[in-house]
Amino acid sequence: MSEADAYLRAYQRERQARLLAEKLLDEKTRVLYDKVLELNETLGNLQHTRNQLLQTEKLAAMGQLTSGLAHEINNPIGFCISNVKCLREWSAQLIALAQHAEALDNTPTAAQLSNLRTTLEQLDLPYLQEELPILLDETEHGLSRVRDLISKLQQYTELGQQQEQSISLHSSIAMALATLGEHKQQCHIEKILGSDIVVIGNELEVQLILSHLLNNAVDACHGKGLIRLVLRSHTEQDREWAIIEVIDSGCGIAAENLQRIFDPFFSTKDVGHGTGLGLSMSYSIAIKHGGSLSVQSQLGQGSCFSLQLPLAPVV
């Protein structure tokens, strides 16, 4: 075989190998491309499912909020109904007194005067003069409270539609505490709030975070223990921050779980007692508001969740 034939055969073998390699590369590229498309579709489906679950978690939290508010509404409604019953009795006595007075002639008879005197004694006018203004004030205050709570309930029906607004953290904390209702059982809640602080954001979403943190604290204490709520301001990197700490004396979180506590679907609760999305949702809301949500905890020694939000700019 001549040297030229040897070079030609070597070239042909090299060309064949290159064509085969290109064919294999093309096949692998197509397979990889199909896998990327499949992975993107899977990721899209997972994101859609996660969004649906987060919405479900928001609705569940909303249900808990509205349930707690309904419980709070029952209290003023209860004493307002009781007050109305008293007003009905007193108004009947006042009407009877007015009727007796209207029936008097210029020269009333002894019987007429006796009836008037008896009605006055039954009415106990000094007691009525003292108690009636108090009862009316209580009723007005109770109905105003109901009106405000119903206004909050109306806001909850607009979840996701609220615009950013100035938020009083005292008010948000009060509403979150109100939603606990009977769920707090024997927990002692200590409030160290100081002066009110105003932040900018979605009021309902901030209340959802606080409500979730408080309910988690109650669960961690098994319904009996100390929960401390602290509100303070903090300056960091030339920015003013509001910090709300929810500190409980409950069971605490194991060190290996602290890094995963805000992951979607992760939960330290028993199966059937939580979706594992509450803290993930709360963390996402805090980040959306330009803040953060962090935790410090030791197993058996309780936990401290810290919500940090930027203060509203001074106008």
State pLDDT tens for residues 178-207: 777 666 667 888 999 989 999 988 888 888
Name 63's Cβ contacts closer than 8 Å, sequence gap at least 6.
Answer: none
Instruction: Using pLDDT thresholds of 50, 70 and 90, give the confidence band for residue 294.
Output: very high
Residue 293, pLDDT score: 93
- The least confident of 81-90, 192-201, 270-279 is 270-279
30 part of a folded domain: no
Name 112's Cβ contacts closer than 8 Å, sequence gap at least 6.
Answer: 100, 103, 104, 105
Confidence check: pLDDT of 120 > 80: no
- In this prediction, residues 281-300 reach a mean pLDDT of 89
Residue 272, pLDDT score: 43
- In this prediction, residues 245-261 reach a mean pLDDT of 87
Q: Which residue has the higher pLDDT, 263 or 314?
A: 263
Instruction: Using pLDDT thresholds of 50, 70 and 90, give the confidence band for residue 229.
Output: very high
282 part of a folded domain: yes
Residue 147, pLDDT score: 81
Pair 181, 229: CB distance under 8 Å: no
Residue 271, pLDDT score: 44
Integer Cα distance of 104 and 117 in angstroms: 12
107 part of a folded domain: no
Instruction: Using pLDDT thresholds of 50, 70 and 90, give the confidence band for residue 309.
Output: very high
Mean pLDDT of the chain: 80
Task: Return the H-helix or E-strand segment holding 137.
Answer: helix 125-156
Integer Cα distance of 108 and 40 in angstroms: 98
Of 104-113, 219-228, 262-271, which has the strongest mean pLDDT? 219-228
CATH number at residue 229: 3.30.565.10
Residue 175, pLDDT score: 83
- The least confident of 5-19, 72-86, 206-220 is 5-19
Range of the domain at 307: 165-315
Pair 198, 168: CB distance under 8 Å: yes
Instruction: Using pLDDT thresholds of 50, 70 and 90, give the confidence band for residue 308.
Output: very high
- In this prediction, residues 4-26 reach a mean pLDDT of 77
Residue reference for tokens 């401290």: 304
Q: In this structure, what token pair is assigned to residue 274?
A: 């939580």
241 part of a folded domain: yes
198 part of a folded domain: yes
Residue reference for tokens 């997972």: 46
- The least confident of 10-24, 74-88, 236-250, 295-309 is 10-24
147 part of a folded domain: no
259 part of a folded domain: yes
Confidence check: pLDDT of 270 > 60: no
Number of domains in the chain: 1
- In this prediction, residues 71-99 reach a mean pLDDT of 83
Q: Which residue has the higher pLDDT, 298 or 49?
A: 298
- In this prediction, residues 207-235 reach a mean pLDDT of 88
pLDDT in tens, 138-185: 888 888 878 877 776 665 555 555 567 888 999 889 888 877 766 666
Q: Which residue has the higher pLDDT, 230 or 12?
A: 230
Integer Cα distance of 13 and 8 in angstroms: 9
Residue 230, pLDDT score: 94
Pair 271, 253: CB distance under 8 Å: no
Neighbours of 205 (CB within 10 A): 22
- Distance set, CA 193 to CA 69, 228, 306 (Å): 22, 10, 14
Residue 191, pLDDT score: 92
144 part of a folded domain: no
Neighbours of 190 (CB within 10 A): 10
Confidence check: pLDDT of 237 > 50: yes
Residue 204, pLDDT score: 82
